[in-house]
Amino acid sequence: MLKTGQFKGPGSPEKSIGARQGNNSVGTNYLEAPASTSNTSKDSSGASSRAPASDHWICHVVETVITTPSEGSVTVLGGSDNGEFPYLGEIKKDTKYPGDGPSLVCGSLILEVQGQRVAGYTQRDVVAWLNHCTRNGNPCVIKTAPQVWKSKASGEITQQF
């Protein structure tokens, strides 16, 4: 049982700044980031929603389905053992893309392999997971984000990390 004035922690119902500090004011939720006036819009209920900027990396995420007949068809570089996100190296010609989906691009950051987020994985772990998912020619979904793209707003090539 808590004594009077003790804070219960992040799971407690008192989530406003005022309630945490002992004030009786109704504050904003301390878990919410302050909304800026740019890129915000109000819906019919009056709640604001943020639309991602067109230059943000999340707008450039590509989901690709591949099948590989053998291990080593896709080379993975980087990884947490090198202090980097895993990214695509060489992609051999025997990599197949079922349907009309997009193809993999060398140098793209690997975000997910078959729904498993791989940020923080070592290069060896990403390769092992990719080989496991594509075993026996099974289709595998890979989410990637390009490291370099052309900015729509300025028309110049920018490099994002």
Structure confidence by residue, pLDDT tens digits, 112-127: 999 999 999 999 999 9
Average pLDDT over the chain reads 74
pLDDT value, residue 1 = 52
Rounded Cα gap, residues 160 and 157, in angstroms: 10
pLDDT value, residue 25 = 41
Q: Is 136 in a helix, a strand, or coil?
A: helix
Spatial contact of 113 and 128, defined as CB atoms under 8 Å apart? no
* CATH superfamily assigned to domain 57-150: PDZ domain (2.30.42.10)
pLDDT value, residue 145 = 93
Percent residues over pLDDT 90 in the chain = 39
Query: How far from each other are the two terminal CA atoms of the chain, in whole angstroms?
Result: 47
pLDDT value, residue 34 = 43
Spatial contact of 57 and 160, defined as CB atoms under 8 Å apart? yes
pLDDT value, residue 95 = 86
Q: Which residues pair with 157 in a beta bridge?
A: 150
Structure confidence by residue, pLDDT tens digits, 80-103: 999 999 999 999 888 888 877 788
Closest by CA to 154, choosing from 72, 61, 55, is: 55
Rounded Cα gap, residues 63 and 113, in angstroms: 10
pLDDT value, residue 11 = 53
Spatial contact of 67 and 51, defined as CB atoms under 8 Å apart? no
pLDDT value, residue 36 = 45
Residues of the chain with pLDDT under 70: 1-49, 51-53, 148-161
